[in-house]
Amino acid sequence: MINKDFFQALNDLQAKGVDKEFFISSLEAALTSAYKKNFGEAKNAEVKLNEEKNTIKVYSYKTVVEEVTDPDKEMSLVEAKTIKKSYKIGDMVAREETPKTFGRIAAQTAKQVIMQRLREAERNRILTDVSTKQDALITVIVRRIENGNVYCDMGLGQVEGVLSIRDQIPGESYVTNSRIKAYVKTVKEGYDMPYVQLSRANAGFVKKLIEMEVPEIANGEIEIKNIVREAGYRTKIAVYCKDHNIDAVGACIGNKGSRINEVINELNGEKIDIIEWSDSPAEYIARALSPATVLHVQVNPIEKTSVVVVPDDKLSLAIGKGGHNVRLAVKLTNWKIDVKSESQMPKYDEPKETNNTDLESLFAIDNAFDDLDN
């Protein structure tokens, strides 16, 4: 083991991602510990690897003293002068004392250190590879299902991605050995291998699906301002484009719904509302309550609250089943929204119906509410 082949193996390790200098220092420390364990813990010793000479040697260090009280760490001045006449009290004397039997111990220790460093190097390599998948959409293979959790093969060696119950689309079932798309939600360093949390319920999953289908989003022409989701029920996406010649909403929907339908099919029919973002709070809130028709919007910019009036027969649609629609609109706009039916609100002169693009009407509505307050 203590020969040229051993040191050549160090270069091979480096090619596999093991830092040679770090490995040598680790091995020297391990060999020193092994030497002390076999030849005396009290000794002040150190193992040194010499690449140029292809040697592994043990050196002991003793301090020159007038009277020796600890033979493992001290040497008399008389003995020191037999080695080198210039030694004096307080000097440190280094002597090579490599035992003949140390070769076997060194080989065994080196093997253990090599295997440990190779495992660490492999783990670090895999962690680096997996980390590049963070926030990415990937295709995985379902390998097993345990207690509702779905364990998937990511094609990265021994690394498994876990699709927990809360990251699954409600009502969705999975078949062993089938291929599914998943969003890489979290990558964490585990004890042995990285822990990868996959998701099909995260809003990022829908965002990546949209980016795949809409090149204008992928190339930056259209920006997703916000996306919120309640998996299995509805997703709302606010999009914006600086170029007024591009219909941001139409580009996302595609010709006869070709683009958005691909996403909906992947989500097993989940409803998706795509609206155009606006810097006008009233207009943005009105659009966020899609597909409901909005008659009036009154906003309080200081408290970021709003009152929205809808036709009586559209109240349930605006609120949504279980409150999904209004709850998502609140998350999308970051405004508190109080939805009222038309019959619940006082009448005022010349009410105007709002639509998704009529900003002047929205301002007129706000002024009308202000008149009512006064």
pLDDT (tens digit, 9 = 90+) per residue, 209-223? 999 999 999 999 999
- Euclidean distance between CA atoms 329 and 326, whole angstroms: 5
CA distance 361 to 21: 72
pLDDT of residue 287: 96
- Higher model confidence: residue 17 or residue 105? 105
Note whether residue 136 is domain-resident: no
- Please give the pLDDT value at position 182: 96
117 and 18 in a common domain: yes
Among the residue ranges 129-133, 223-227, 305-309, the one predicted with the least confidence is: 129-133
Residue 6 has what pLDDT? 67
Residue 4 pLDDT: 63
Pick from 336, 343, 273: nearest CA to 314: 343
pLDDT at 152: 94
Is position 137 within any domain?
Answer: no
pLDDT score at 49 = 78
Length of the chain: 374
pLDDT value, residue 374: 41
Classify residue 254: in a domain, yes or no: yes
Closest CA to 203 of 215, 185, 191: 185
Confidence of residue 25 (pLDDT cuts 50, 70, 90): confident
Residues 69-97: what's their mean pLDDT? 87
From CA 25, how far away is CA 106, in angstroms rounded? 14
Does residue 374 sit in the same domain as residue 298? yes
Examine residue 282 and state whether it is found in any structural domain, yes or no. Answer: no
Residue 245 sits in a domain whose CATH number is 3.30.300.20
User: What's the pLDDT score for residue 285?
Assistant: 97
- Examine the domain organization and report whether 30 and 56 are in the same domain: yes
Coil, strand or helix at 61: strand
The region, left, alpha or beta by phi > 0 then psi within -120 to 50, assigned to residue 320 is left
Residue whose tokens read 């709850």 = 327
> Is residue 305 situated within a structural domain?
yes
Has residue 51 got a pLDDT over 70? yes
The band of 362, judged by pLDDT with boundaries at 50, 70 and 90, is very low
> What is the reported pLDDT for 330?
97
Query: Domain total for the chain?
Result: 4
pLDDT confidence band for 3 (50 / 70 / 90): low
Q: 258 pLDDT exceeds 90?
A: yes
| pLDDT value of residue 190 | 66
Element (H, E) at 58: strand 55-65
> 308: closest CA among 328, 331, 336, 280?
336
Let me know whether 272 and 307 are in one domain.
Answer: no
One domain for residues 17 and 126: yes
Same domain, 152 and 209: no
In terms of Cβ atoms closer than 10 Å to its own Cβ (0-12, 13-18, 19+), residue 55 is: middle
Does residue 112 register a pLDDT over 80?
Answer: no
Q: Contact at 8 Å (CB) between 161 and 126?
A: no
Distance CA 250, CA 257 (A): 9
- b vs e for 207-229, b when ≥16 Cβ sit within 10 Å of the residue's Cβ? bbbbbbbbebbeeeebebbbbbb
Position with higher pLDDT, 63 vs 10:
63
Q: What's the pLDDT band for 256 if we cut at 50, 70, 90?
A: very high
**pLDDT tens across 277-319, in order?**
999 999 999 999 999 999 999 999 999 999 999 999 999 999 9
Task: Please name the residue that has the structure tokens 């440990």.
Answer: 116
Mean pLDDT over the full length of the chain: 83
Domain identity same for 126 and 8: yes
- The answer to whether residues 27 and 93 belong to one domain is yes
Which residue has 């004890």 as its token pair? 191
Domain residues for 36?
Answer: 4-130
Out of 256, 277, 298, pick the residue that ends a domain: 277
CATH number of the domain at 165, please: 2.40.50.140
- Do both 206 and 254 map to the same domain? yes
Amino acid identity for residue 142 in this structure: V
What is the rounded CA–CA span in Å between residue 42 and residue 108? 22
* Of the listed ranges 21-30, 166-175, 265-274, 351-360, the one predicted with least confidence: 351-360
Of 47-51, 127-131, 247-251, 350-354, least confident by mean pLDDT is 350-354
Residues 17-32: what's their mean pLDDT? 75
If asked whether residues 13 and 100 sit together in one domain, one would say: yes
Confidence of residue 188 (pLDDT cuts 50, 70, 90): confident
pLDDT(241) > 90:
yes
Mean pLDDT along residues 234-238: 97
- Residues 169 and 206 both lie in one domain: no
DSSP assignment string, 67-112? S-S-TTTEEEHHHHHHH-TT--TT-EEEEE---TTHHHHHHHHHHH
Q: Identify which has the larger pLDDT, 164 or 194.
A: 164
Cα radius of gyration (the chain): 36
pLDDT of residue 370: 43
Q: Which of 175, 197, 219 is the last residue of a domain?
A: 197
Least confident of 42-46, 109-113, 261-265, 362-366: 362-366
Residue 271 backbone dihedrals phi, psi, to 5 degrees? -75, 140
Whether omega for the bond prior to residue 170 falls within 30 degrees of 0, making it cis, is no
Task: With respect to residue 284, please indicate whether it lies within any of the assigned structural domains.
Answer: no
104: CATH:
3.30.1480.10
Structural domain includes residue 283:
no
135 belongs to a structural domain = no
Out of 197, 220, 240, a domain closes at 197
Is the pLDDT at 20 greater than 90, yes or no?
no
Predicted pLDDT at 336: 97
pLDDT at residue 12 above 80?
no
Q: Are residues 121 and 40 in the same domain?
A: yes
